[in-house]
Amino acid sequence: MLSRAMCQQARLARDARFDGLFFTAVRSTGIYCRSVCPAKAPAESQVNYYASAAAASQAGFRPCLRCRPDSAPGSPAWQGTQTTLQRALRLIDEGSLQQHTQADLALRLGITDRYLRKLFQQQLGVTPTQYALNQQVLFAKKLLHETHLPVSCIAYQAGFNSVRRFNDAFVKQLRLNPSAIRRHHPEHANNGLKLELSYRPPLAWDSMLTFWQARTLTGVEWVEADRYGRTFSYLQHAGWFEVAPKTASSLTLTLHWSGRRGLSSLVQKLRRLLDLDTNMLQIEQQLASHPLFTEQLLSGLRIPGLWNTWEAGVRAILGQQVSVAGARTQLNRLVQELGTAVTDDKRLFPTPEAVFASQLAMIKVPALRRQTLRDLAAFVLAQPEASPEQWLDIKGIGPWTVSYAKMRGQSDSDIWLAGDLGIQKALARADKQTVNTGTLAPWRSYATFQLWLQKGG
């Protein structure tokens, strides 16, 4: 939690870089707000600060209808050594407590239920169950504000098993009635579901588009003007999305997906792919103090993610010892032959099942590399939840491939690709043969992308 003085300065300045890092509750009105709320700032003596919206709600405050805390960026995706808490938050955001109990979550994390509750109480001021329910309700509130979806559909997409349960939780958590929010809902649109994705500035969107553009696969991804889009399959439903800038602190998401449940966890997955919950202020302050970055940093450069570690692993294997353009050629051949069609011009990235069943004659690579791809496919099919570190037992996969898969497939913040040719070229241009990267932890992935894009690596 930030100090009270820092919270006061940020809310008075309406600084978007602190949006979602804390929430301001006004005792005289019973309302809690984001740091960017445009309403008249209350006196400091009238406010409390909370590390999460869930904590503010648990303390008896309801969300502001003007700044809408449901649209704030999430907590920082990575907070140093708090890996257990962050993994728990990620699993909850993906819907873990909607299908399983709190004890099941603790078991999956390898800790006791008691220790899990202690972590949440110390860091967020609520229990895991209270946090999960608050996230569900806030996401439902966001859908009520921004979409034409019926209330019954919103209830299921937010993870509730009945509309009655949804209405009850909504009133108890937010002190609001769903119908009050849906007074002026958007008109029905046939061109996809549109949602606003907030982030903390800055965001180097043009640089990320440049990175994606050089690696887009025909039919799977596309970059058009200021938009990035791609296909995906989630919960056995294929779809595609596009994102484009809306304001200085938000993107517009246009989503085409037919799933009846799981929208909340899907949006969280897209936020991870776009790296929207990162606190760039903290990261860039640390990078700028390192001798490697004597020049000005490329401000707002995030990790341009991939859909999953499987896709990242395939891209890494076919990118070994070849140029970006060469890898793209082979990947396009793989996609055109094995990718399932979504529409006439859109295809999914090939699945492990498709790769394992093929002899991969369409790609012009050594036979050993084809076998490595098929071995990886077999491993992922047998152990879909396994960590990429376990891929090292597969012939043809080394540390670079595993690190690349973790960085782009999991958005791991602390990957340093020391053996990467692009990084070596960037270090040579900077007259740095060896670099002590320990002081860059846990943000070495961001340092890697800075060198790739800033130094021309």
Q: What would you report as the CA-atom Rg of the chain, rounded to the nearest whole angstrom?
A: 23
Please check whether residue 15 lies inside any domain of the structure: yes
- CATH at residue 233: 3.30.310.20
From residue 316, alpha-carbon distances to 301, 330, 356, 369, 439 in Å are 21, 12, 17, 11, 27
Please check whether residue 346 lies inside any domain of the structure: no
Place of tokens 């008896």: 60
Q: Based on the domain organization, do 240 and 274 belong to the same domain?
A: yes
- CATH at residue 63: 3.40.10.10
| Number of structural domains in the chain | 3
Greater pLDDT, 420 or 276: 276
Last residue of a domain, one of 229, 255, 278: 278
Sequence-ordered alpha helix ranges (H) in 275-364: 280-288, 309-318, 324-338, 352-357
Residue 81: the pLDDT is: 41
Last residue of a domain, one of 153, 184, 215: 184
Residue 241 DSSP class: E
Residue 431: the pLDDT is: 66
How would residue 84 be classed by pLDDT, with cut points 50, 70 and 90? confident
Coil, strand, or helix at residue 163?
helix
Mean pLDDT of the chain: 90
Please check whether residue 367 lies inside any domain of the structure: no
Q: Based on the domain organization, do 170 and 238 belong to the same domain?
A: no
Q: Which residues are within 8 A (CB) of 376 and not within 5 positions of it... i.e. 6 or more apart?
A: 310, 313, 314, 317, 352, 355, 391, 394, 397
- CATH at residue 110: 1.10.10.60
Does the pLDDT at position 432 exceed 70?
Answer: no
Distance CA 301, CA 298 (A): 6
Beta pairing class for 227-234 and 47-50:
unpaired
Query: Structure tokens of 195?
Result: 């949602």
Q: Based on the domain organization, do 150 and 171 belong to the same domain?
A: yes
Please check whether residue 404 lies inside any domain of the structure: no
Please check whether residue 450 lies inside any domain of the structure: no
- Say if CB 136 and CB 264 are below 8 A apart: yes
Distance CA 12, CA 124 (A): 23
Greater pLDDT, 271 or 76: 271
Please check whether residue 231 lies inside any domain of the structure: yes
Does the pLDDT at position 356 exceed 60?
Answer: yes
Residue 4 DSSP class: H
- Say if CB 408 and CB 312 are below 8 A apart: yes
Greater pLDDT, 362 or 294: 362
Please check whether residue 265 lies inside any domain of the structure: yes
Residue 433: the pLDDT is: 59
Beta pairing class for 31-33 and 227-234:
unpaired
Distance CA 21, CA 420 (A): 34
The Cα angle at residue 318 between residues 388 and 275, in degrees rounded to 5: 55
Query: Structure tokens of 441?
Result: 């932890």
Residue-range definition of the domain harbouring residue 230? 193-278
The pTM (predicted TM-score) of the whole model is 0.89
Last residue of a domain, one of 160, 184, 208: 184
Please check whether residue 274 lies inside any domain of the structure: yes
Distance CA 213, CA 257 (A): 24
The predicted model gives 22-49 an average pLDDT of: 95
Does the pLDDT at position 243 exceed 50?
Answer: yes
Residue 77: the pLDDT is: 39
Amino acid in position 234 = Y
β partners of residue 222 = 229
Residues 244-288: pLDDT tens digits? Answer: 999 999 999 999 999 999 999 999 999 999 999 988 988 999 999
- Say if CB 145 and CB 184 are below 8 A apart: no
